Structure formats: C-alpha cells, structure tokens
C-alpha cells in the first residue's frame, strides 16, 4: 500500500554503485551510510506493516461496533413501542373499568 509511494527499496539501495575517482568519496563511508539507510528503510517497512495491521483491526472493530449499535437501536425501538403499547393498554383497561363501574354500578 505505501510501497508505491517510496522511490527506493532496500534492494535498490543495496545494489547502488558509486563511481570511484581520485577525489571521490571513500567507499567505506558510503557503504556504512547505505547500511544505515537500508536499516531505516527496513524498519519503515516493518512500521508500515504494523500500521496496516492496526488499521485492519480497527476497521473490523468499527464494523462490529456499528452492527452492535444497529442491534441496540432496534432493541430500543422495540422496547419503546412495547412500553408505549403498555401505556395505551393501561389507559384502555382503566376506561373499561370506569365504564363497568358506571354500567354495573360498582365502585
């Protein structure tokens, strides 16, 4: 994923050859520096893999939490409807009871 954004791979750096002339850089110094660059690139690759894994885990967790949220919202809606129906049923029972009292004369 991130590899296409990099210009050099550890292999490219390792295989790089410098021209040597009489006033050029010391090959040992160049080799030591390139070893450091390669190590850093390899470490960066490891870090990117870790970040990709973390990202995948977070995305999976996010999907799971969204499913759980939908399920809880559905349960809440069902419970809300049930409680509102209970209130309506209680009102109906109270009205029927009052009508029975009026019709049958019971208190």
SS in 3 state form for 74-107? HHHHHHHHHHHHHHHHHHHHHHHHHHHHHHHCCC
Instruction: Specify the pLDDT at position 81.
Output: 72
Rounded to two decimals, the pTM is 0.55
- Return the structure tokens found at 28: 């040992």
**C-alpha to C-alpha distance for 81 and 87, rounded to whole angstroms:** 10
Q: Would you give per-residue pLDDT tens digits along the chain (107 residues)?
A: 566 667 777 888 888 887 777 778 777 888 888 888 888 888 888 888 999 999 999 999 999 999 999 988 888 887 777 666 656 677 777 778 878 777 777 65
The span from the CA of 106 to the CA of 84, in Å, is 29
Tokens 């967790």 correspond to 61
């Amino acid at each position: 994923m991130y590899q296409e954004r990099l210009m050099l791979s550890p292999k490219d750096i390792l295989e790089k050859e410098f021209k040597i002339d009489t006033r050029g850089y010391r090959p040992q110094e160049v080799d030591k520096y390139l070893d450091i660059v390669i190590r850093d690139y390899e470490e960066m690759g490891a870090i990117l893999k870790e970040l990709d894994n973390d990202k995948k885990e977070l995305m999976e967790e996010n999907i799971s939490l969204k499913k759980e949220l939908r399920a809880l919202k559905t349960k809440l809606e069902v419970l809300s409807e049930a409680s509102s129906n209970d209130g309506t049923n209680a009102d109906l029972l109270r009205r029927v009871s009052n009508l029975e009292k009026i019709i049958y004369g019971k208190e």
